[in-house]
Every structure is written in structure tokens, then in C-alpha cells.
Structure 1
Amino acid sequence: MTAPILDDVTQTPAPPAHRPVLVVDFGAQYAQLIARRVREARVYSEIVPHSTSAEAMLAKDPAAIILSGGPASVYADGAPFVDPALFEAGVPVLGICYGFQAMAKALGGEVAQTGLREYGGTEVAVCEAGVLLSGTPEHQTAWMSHGDAVHRAPDGFDVLATSPGSPVAAFEDTTRRLYGVQWHPEVKHSAHGQAVLEHFLYDGAGLAPDWTPGNVIAEQVEAIRAQVGDKRVICGLSGGVDSSVAAALVQRAVGDQLTCVFVDHGLLRSGEAEQVEQDFVAATGVNLVVVDAQERFLEALAGVTDPETKRKIIGREFIRVFEQAARDVVTAAGAHGEEVEFLVQGTLYPDVVESGGGEGAANIKSHHNVGGLPEDLQFSLIEPLRTLFKDEVRAVGLELGVPEAIVWRQPFPGPGLGIRIIGEVTRERLDTLRAADAIAREELTLAGLDREIWQCPVVLLADVRSVGVQGDGRTYGHPVVLRPVSSEDAMTADWTRLPYDVLARISTRVTNEVADVNRVTLDVTSKPPGTIEWE
């Protein structure tokens, strides 16, 4: 379920207590991955665009700085550059690929084309381990992606490694705590990449691995209490992992000052409403207002078959229902002399980055993720997850005691089953799809595949019928489509090769147990060209 839209929002985000490792993004496809790998080393990181001035970066009091790769050539006109002041501030710096070359050039080294490009797995020869390559083999495979190379290291640097296309493939100046590698240690194809990053973080920068779910919770609880005071808070709870963990974190901080609103639009999968009403409340003790709006949504969707129209109707009706629920909460609070001033939003760090690296991100996200409350309601946002990636959110959720069934819930579209029915949405068709979907999810769980796939939508082709034979008689039923996909971010995806025996069990059970379904098919399309959802 999509969170409602909020107009006229103010925000006072609480920065984490940890000093950040800044990842300077030079347009690399791997900038987010670098930040993730740093966090996997249990060190807090943030991404900033390369256009950020050295003064602004240093104002963040960074514990260390990592310069990412990028597509440009350091000697091309208009190429991004690194302000030498960054290397004179006493902050440990690691350059990667383009960042490595930019560091070398800024400090007086020589960068040029070698005539030998290196892409993909490349053998690197270690000539001196130093701090950065300590404990790694003399010959190791690293992932390269460059046409330029460092030919001469700046004065004061020790050359640590070479490769066929990189006369200087790694260097370091331990006195100034400056380090660099030509390859990409953040990708799994670099055999000892994580070790290189950890050597920089732990040994080069002297950082402690203390960015843990427990510390995240403690810091956010303190920040939320300072932000909220004795005011009341409202949260649009969808039952998904992001809103659930955000709500649990705020509830841990302010207790019954928080009220969650859950809108049941009748387009949920089997058991999901009960899971929120029972399991989540039991685990967190949160105050929950449940709005049963099933009839309202069915009436609004009657006779509608166009997928975009269905989406707009569902979005519109959800906003109207949440508006009224929010007014009711505000009215009830006002009757007791309390003021509802804050709205909880489950914004994640990728949302912030994709909205421009955090600059202006709050406004973009507030309108697209939270919006639509009446203009006369003024809220400040509480976004306790805005520094976290999805896997970190799950870890925090488990630490908070959020039920695993919610923490590991597969992504589910805001319009719910309404866009998994190809054709008109009716109560009977929803019942049919819920039954088929429940069987597919149950069998995937029994096979231990829940965490192996991104999600497995089940689609009902309600406007299609096919001939079948069931019970020695002719049937004319609907087909359903299984759409198992694997992905990391849903931007691209591939269909998941489920075991044949699992597919067979799903097919047999669906055709035996679900009325009006006599055929189960498998969608084997990647994204692109297909999308994950059919509508």
C-alpha cells in the first residue's frame, strides 16, 4: 500500500551520531555499492555529489573520504576534479578508479592513456603490500574498468601494485593517510576487494566497526524524542517492511504518542490485514486505527478495466480515506488538549540519493511518497530510516522485534491485487486470486525460497478463459500466471529459475483447490523488456 501524499511539509531530520565516511560520487554506477560495502564493514557512510565543495564536505566532519569511479577522463575538458584542499585537511582519503586518477593528478602525479584498456577481471601484481593490500596475495584478480592509467605516482607515495594496463595500479602515502586503487574493490568480482576497503577503514583511517542495528536504534530513539517532545505523531502503516520498521522505531521512542492508521482497501493478499492488526500490534504495542474501506474501493472500481485508470482510482480513494482517518485522529487528540504535529514516513537512503544526493530530497519525497493531506494540516516529517539501505532496515526491524513475516515481506504494489487482475476487479475475482497467491507463497516458503527471490506476483487473467479437463469433465476456466523474479533494486530483474518440483506442486494445488482456475503458466521474461508487474 502506498503511503499518502502530504502537502506543505516541514522537516527536521536528525543526523546520526557517527561521523560519516563520505563517498564522493563522480558519476559512477557503483557509488551506492561503495557506500553499502562500507556499511557492511559496520562503518557509517553517506554519498555526496562531486559538485560539493571541499569546504562543504569538511563541514560534515567526515571520518574519511572515498572518491568513487566515474566515466570521465581526468584530462578531458570539463572533467570533474578534486580540490587539493581535500588532501591537506588531515582526513584519510581513498581514491577508486577515476577517484584514484583524480587524486594522482591533483597531487602532481601523471595520468595518461596506455593504449591498453582494462575491462573486467584483470590480474594485479602486488609489489608492496603496505597498509592497503596487507594479507592479500601477490597475484590477485581485480575488476577493472578504465582506459586511462596512472603512469607516475605523486611524490611521497609508495607504489603497491601494477597490472598490464596500469603501471601504477595502487599506491599509498601513510604519512598523509592517502590511498588509492585503480580497480573496483566494491564489486564482488574483485577477489579481495572487501579486505582492501576494510584495511583503509580500520587501519588507514583508524575507524571502529560500530555501525550496528543496536546503535542505529539508540541514536534514532534519542533523536526522535528530542524532535517530538510531548507532541503526538501519526503514521500511515501499510504493513510493508519500510513503514512497519519506521513505525516500530518511533513507537520505541515515544510510545503511545504515536497512532498508526491502516487502510484495508480490500486489495491485500490473504492474511495481510490480520498480520498487521495482530502480529505487528502484539510485537510493538502500537496504537492502531484500522479503516475498513473494502466496499468503497470495490464500488469505485466497478466496470473499470484500464490499468492506468485502476491505479488512479485506487490512489485517489486511498488518499480520501486516509484524509478522513487523519482528521479523526487529530480531532480525538485535540479533545484531550494534544496536538498532532508529526507524520512518520519510511523514506530509505536510496530514495534520498535518487532524489539528488539529499539536497532537496525531502521536498521531492514528501510530495511523491507521503502527500495528499488537507492543506490546513501542517506536519513535520519523521524519517528515521532515511540513512539506511533496505537490508539495514530489515536488520533494524529484527532488532526491534518486528515479526519476521513482515520484515522479510516481499515488495507489494500500492494498488495491491487490483493490478494483478487483468480485467475488471470484482469480489469473486479477488477471492480467486487471493487463493492462488496464498498457495504459491505457501509452497515457496515450504521450499525455503522466500529469500532467494525478489517477489513472485501471481496474475489472474480474468478476461481470458481456456478449455480444461477436470473431474472427467470439460471446464472453461481462467489461467493464472506465476511471475517469480530476482532483483536487487527492481530497476532490472530476471525471472527466477524455480525448481520444477516446486512449480509442479504450485500448479497441482492451484488447479485442484482454486475454483475457476484450470491452467497455471510461468512468465519467463526479464526486465527489460517486461516489467515486474503486468499492469
Structure 2
Amino acid sequence: MDRIVVLDFGSQYSHLICRRVREANVYCELLRHDTPARLLREIRPKGIIISGGPASIYVEGSPRPDYGIFDLGIPILGICYGHQLIVDRFGGRIRKSNVREYGSSNLVIDDNKDLFSNIKGNIRCWMSHSDTAESIPKDFEVLAHTDSSSSAAIVNRNKKLFGIQFHPEVLHTESGTEILKNFSFRISEAAPAWNMKDFLESSISEIRNKVGRDRVLCAVSGGIDSTTVAVMLHRAVGNNLRCVFVNHGLLRGGEEELVVQSFEQVLNIPLIVVNASERFTTMLRGIKDPEEKRMIIGDEFARVFSDVASKHGPFQWLAQGTLYPDIIESGVSHGPASVIKSHHNVKGLPKWLDLKVIEPLSTLYKDEVKKLAENLGVPTQLLKRHPFPGPGLAVRIIGEVNHEKIRIARESSKIVEDELMAASWYNKVWQAYAAVGDDKAVGVIGDGRLYGHIVIIRVVDSVDAMTADWVRLPHDIIEKISNRISNEVEGVTWVTYAVSSKPPATIEPQ
């Protein structure tokens, strides 16, 4: 099967490049930035993409690839830092820019062959750089420019080398997917032969080969990720699978009942239910730092799994619903990415928990998991639910987690979901919830003054959770949500609406 490989130099969008190429049904995988050229020669990819990254090429010690990749005769596309790396390698000059470009810019296409084939002359593109090419190498031509960058896209057609200073992988870039398709199909001549049906078959075979006759403990939350993993494992290892659902006291309203019903009555997969509410809330008492909260929740999950394994074991494996976005945000990707936030199922299990980890979805994005879940027959009531973080309401509570704020976040989020469903908006958005923090504001309830909590309504739209836009809900829906929260949720005086996209914000506040 034809493939494109991405060399990861630490961009927060590295995985997203893979995702966009896969949208075109071409298999794409992420490799370390310093993957040896000899290994790439063995893999025989149809094309190589060099990702962006936080480094500057002129700084000593900045990451470099094995320069032998440029002698393989394989088409190469450099994005942002990858573009600058190509310029530097072949004799051009990169310097710190006088004008930093972050955000949307107008790209003027000067040459619409190959990379820009069938793309109009001016498009909006997403820039994220503070370095620029002062001069481009000999034998390279300019394909496109912006007001601040005279060589925003370059090519050496003899060597099949392309460099672009913008990010085609993000949805903010107009025709970005078409640019990546042009590289994959026109330039690299890759065949579109990869799909979720093939992934499912190969994954089940891989699970059987890896696990053998061992027993697997699968942590499920009721979300689409862990449910999909559970169904895959059930097909692969049958009765050697046991699923465990942990109620950590930070769930959405009615979550436990829905999960138990779905697994036992619809999927026919036995479920171990553990009520550990007090354990988690006790451990979180007095903790305000979001990273510390996530770490505590991860460690406590491990202890619960250890207890379950001792009681119902022995088990040799622990299965988790880790996805690509979890890995990239936790800074555990193949390249030098920064940590945005830790995920309890990514940082690794404590050494004392003697279980090997299996993560069948760790190369997929959320929308790919949804397609996979449909193929597996996951119940619609779970398939259509909005994503919910593993740490639960703890990451929707700013500051210390306590019973009052848990109640406010849970009750307010239920109102948000109910009103969106009533207005037929629930399935139009990616995620919708309410968050609460330590800030308070004065309000008037009846004839009395109340100093109460401020609730933040957060509604976003996304395709893969790597980027997200805040949703412009009709004002009458926002008004209904606000009125209901103010009137029905005790202790709330103000209701606000979040208007930050990702980036710069993240989807969850913590």
C-alpha cells in the first residue's frame, strides 16, 4: 500500500498533516525527525513531508533530518520549519523576520502548476512563524508570496523539492487539503487505497497477534473512544476481555446508567462497575493547578485498575482509548513538541502497575474513530454523544474541585445539552458544556443580594479536535440557556459565553 510519511519536527500540527493526507485515502504515518535515510529507503514512501516546529534553523543545536533523505529521489514537501530547513540546506539564507506572521494572510499564487494545480490565484492561508527566507537557493523558483514573505512557496522541480511557509493542514487555510492532495497524487503519485474497513481488519489481526491468549482489562468511560476499543477487543479476544467503568464522581448526569445499559443490554459485553467518587474527590481536595489535577486523576485511575486486576485477574494488558490528539497535546509525539496539557491515559502507567498497555486507536483522530465505530455497530446513543474528557468535570472546573462546583458544572452542562437538543443544534456542533471557576460576581435573586459563581458556556465546532472554532449560536438559544442556569442552578449569578477558538485556547479550560 502506498504511503506518505511525515517527519515530525515538533509542530502541534504534525499529526494533523497525517490526518489531512488520510482524508484523501492515502495511508500516512508520523516518524521521528531524525529517521535514518536508509530506513526510509526500506519503507519506500511515495512522498515525504517535513513538518513545522518551534525551533529556528539558525540556532545552534536546532533539529535536523538525516540529509540523506534529499538523495533518495522521493518528492519532499517542507512546511514552515521544513520549508526553512530546505532553504538552509541548499544554500539559501534564513533570518529572524522583521514582521512576525501569526494568523491569516493573503497568499498570492505566482505559479499554479503541480502543488497549486486547480487552485485560484489568491487564497487565505494560516501563518505561524517569526523567521523568513532572506534569499532562496540557486535552482529554486518562487511559487507564491504574501505581503510579508516574498517566497512563501518555492520549488526545485528537478529535485522534486517543495517548501511552503504556511500550514495547509489547518482548516484556516483555504484549499489546504487540495494542496496536500496535489502533493500526494500529482507529485508523489500515491494511490488512494486506505480506509477504515481495512484499518479495522488489520487492527483486529494485530491485537490477536500481540495479545495471544493473555487477558485484557479495558477501561471504558462511555465515550466513543473507549467504547470502540472495547468492541474491537471483544471481537479480537472474546471472553479474555473484561471491561471496567469507574465512576470517579466527575461524570455527566446519568452517565453511569447509560454506559451500563449500552454495554450489558446492547453490546452484550460484561462490565465491572466501580464507584470511586470519594476516592477521587478526596485526592483532589485543595488542588488548583490543572496539570497537578490531571496527574492525580491519572495516578488514582491506575490504583483503581490495580485493585480491579487483583480482584478479577490475573490480567496481562490494560487497554485504553488514547487518540492522536491526546498524544500531541501531551508532548509524547515522535518529535520535539511542547506539552500543552497532560492526558491521564498518555503519560504512562506507574511501574508498580504490572500491566502492559495496548492502545488500538492511538494513530487515529476523533472523526476516524467515529467512522470505525459505525463499522463496529456502536449504539447511536453513544455514537452521537459529544466528546467528554477522561478526567471528567475536573477539567471544566477552574481551581479547586469541590462538591459545589461539581454540582454547578454538571447541572449547568445538562441545561446546555438539553437546550441544544430542543433547538436541533446538538448534532450540529462538536462539543457543548458549561464550566465554572473560583471567580464570583454579585447578583440579585428575588429581593436579595447574592455573591455567586460565574458559569462559562462553551460551544465549539471541529473535525478532529486539533483545531476548533467557537460556535455563533442564535441569541435566543443563548438567552434560554442563561435564564435556565440562573434560575435553576443554585449558587450561580452570572452566565457568560466563551468566544475563543483553538488555537489559541484549548477546547477544555483545564
TM-score normalised by structure 1 residue count: 0.74
CA contact (8 A) 1:345 1:370 kept: no
**Equivalent pairs, count:** 494
| Number of the residue aligned with 2:187 | 204
Deviation at 1:148, TM superposition (A): 0.8
Deviation at 1:237, TM superposition (A): 1.4
CA contact (8 A) 2:288 2:401 kept: no
* Separation in 2, partners of 1:79, 1:317: 38
* Separation in 1, partners of 2:156, 2:308: 59
Q: Deviations over 1:59-108 (max 9, x none)?
A: 544332012345666566555555442132233322334434543554x5
Deviation at 1:522, TM superposition (A): 2.3
The answer to whether residue 349 in structure 2 is matched with residue 371 in structure 1 is yes
**Greater Cα radius of gyration, structure 1 or 2:** 1
| Number of the residue aligned with 2:6 | 23
The answer to whether residue 15 in structure 2 is matched with residue 37 in structure 1 is no
CA contact (8 A) 1:97 1:182 kept: yes
Which aligned pairs between 1:355-434 and structure 2 lie closer than 5 A? 355-358=331-334, 369=347, 371=349, 375=352, 378-407=354-383, 408-412=385-389, 414=391, 416=393, 420=397, 425=402, 434=410
Q: For residues 476 and 118 of structure 1, do their structure 2 counterparts lie closer, same or farther at Cα, with a shift above 3 Å needed?
A: closer
| Number of the residue aligned with 2:212 | 229
Q: For residues 482 and 188 of structure 1, do their structure 2 counterparts lie closer, same or farther at Cα, with a shift above 3 Å needed?
A: closer
CA contact (8 A) 1:468 1:475 kept: yes
* Separation in 2, partners of 1:115, 1:313: 42
Q: What is the identity, as a one-letter code, of the residue corresponding to 1:170?
A: I
Q: For residues 443 and 170 of structure 1, do their structure 2 counterparts lie closer, same or farther at Cα, with a shift above 3 Å needed?
A: same
Q: For residues 159 and 359 of structure 1, do their structure 2 counterparts lie closer, same or farther at Cα, with a shift above 3 Å needed?
A: closer
Which aligned pairs between 1:324-343 and structure 2 lie closer than 5 A? 324-330=307-313, 340-343=315-318
| Number of the residue aligned with 2:132 | 147
Q: Deviations over 1:261-284 (max 9, x none)?
A: 112244422210011111244443
CA contact (8 A) 2:88 2:94 kept: no
* Separation in 2, partners of 1:429, 1:317: 20
Q: What is the identity, as a one-letter code, of the residue corresponding to 2:324?
A: Y
User: 3-state DSSP class of the match of 1:199?
Assistant: helix
| Counterpart pick for 2:319 among 344, 351, 362 | 344
Q: What is the identity, as a one-letter code, of the residue corresponding to 2:322?
A: T
Which aligned pairs between 1:520-535 and structure 2 lie closer than 5 A? 521-522=495-496, 524=498
The answer to whether residue 478 in structure 2 is matched with residue 503 in structure 1 is yes
| Number of the residue aligned with 2:79 | 96
| Counterpart pick for 2:155 among 155, 166, 171 | 171
Q: Deviations over 1:141-161 (max 9, x none)?
A: 55565521554553xx77655
* Separation in 1, partners of 2:62, 2:395: 48
* Separation in 2, partners of 1:168, 1:304: 51
The answer to whether residue 253 in structure 2 is matched with residue 270 in structure 1 is yes
CA contact (8 A) 2:326 2:343 kept: yes
* Separation in 1, partners of 2:121, 2:189: 25
Q: For residues 461 and 478 of structure 1, do their structure 2 counterparts lie closer, same or farther at Cα, with a shift above 3 Å needed?
A: farther
Q: Deviations over 1:149-194 (max 9, x none)?
A: 554553xx776556675369432536x5444445443344543332
Unaligned regions of 5+ residues in structure 1, if any?
A: 1-17, 332-339
Which aligned pairs between 1:474-493 and structure 2 lie closer than 5 A? 481-484=455-458, 486=460
Q: For residues 180 and 518 of structure 1, do their structure 2 counterparts lie closer, same or farther at Cα, with a shift above 3 Å needed?
A: closer
* Separation in 1, partners of 2:336, 2:11: 21
* Separation in 1, partners of 2:98, 2:398: 54
| Counterpart pick for 1:437 among 408, 413, 417 | 413
CA contact (8 A) 1:423 1:463 kept: no
CA contact (8 A) 1:355 1:365 kept: no
Percentage identity across aligned positions? 35
Which aligned pairs between 1:55-134 and structure 2 lie closer than 5 A? 55-70=38-53, 80-103=63-86, 106=89, 108=90, 110-111=92-93, 119=101, 121-127=105-111, 129-134=112-117
CA RMSD of aligned residues (A): 4.7
Q: For residues 81 and 405 of structure 1, do their structure 2 counterparts lie closer, same or farther at Cα, with a shift above 3 Å needed?
A: same
Q: For residues 533 and 133 of structure 1, do their structure 2 counterparts lie closer, same or farther at Cα, with a shift above 3 Å needed?
A: closer
User: 3-state DSSP class of the match of 2:34?
Assistant: coil
* Separation in 2, partners of 1:189, 1:68: 17
Mean Cα deviation higher: 201-210 or 416-425: 416-425
* Separation in 2, partners of 1:305, 1:115: 45
| Number of the residue aligned with 1:136 | 119
Q: For residues 462 and 483 of structure 1, do their structure 2 counterparts lie closer, same or farther at Cα, with a shift above 3 Å needed?
A: same
* Separation in 2, partners of 1:370, 1:82: 28
Between 1 and 2, higher relative CO (CA 8 Å, sep ≥ 6) is seen in 1
* Separation in 1, partners of 2:209, 2:427: 38
Q: For residues 151 and 365 of structure 1, do their structure 2 counterparts lie closer, same or farther at Cα, with a shift above 3 Å needed?
A: closer
Q: What is the identity, as a one-letter code, of the residue corresponding to 1:452?
A: V
CA contact (8 A) 2:452 2:491 kept: yes
Q: Deviations over 1:451-472 (max 9, x none)?
A: 5354423549899996522xxx
CA contact (8 A) 1:24 1:50 kept: yes
CA contact (8 A) 1:26 1:68 kept: yes
Deviation at 1:30, TM superposition (A): 4.0
CA contact (8 A) 1:26 1:49 kept: yes
Q: For residues 290 and 369 of structure 1, do their structure 2 counterparts lie closer, same or farther at Cα, with a shift above 3 Å needed?
A: farther
Deviation at 1:209, TM superposition (A): 2.4
| Number of the residue aligned with 1:334 | none
Q: What is the identity, as a one-letter code, of the residue corresponding to 1:483?
A: I
* Separation in 2, partners of 1:244, 1:306: 30
| Number of the residue aligned with 1:54 | 37
CA contact (8 A) 1:420 1:533 kept: no
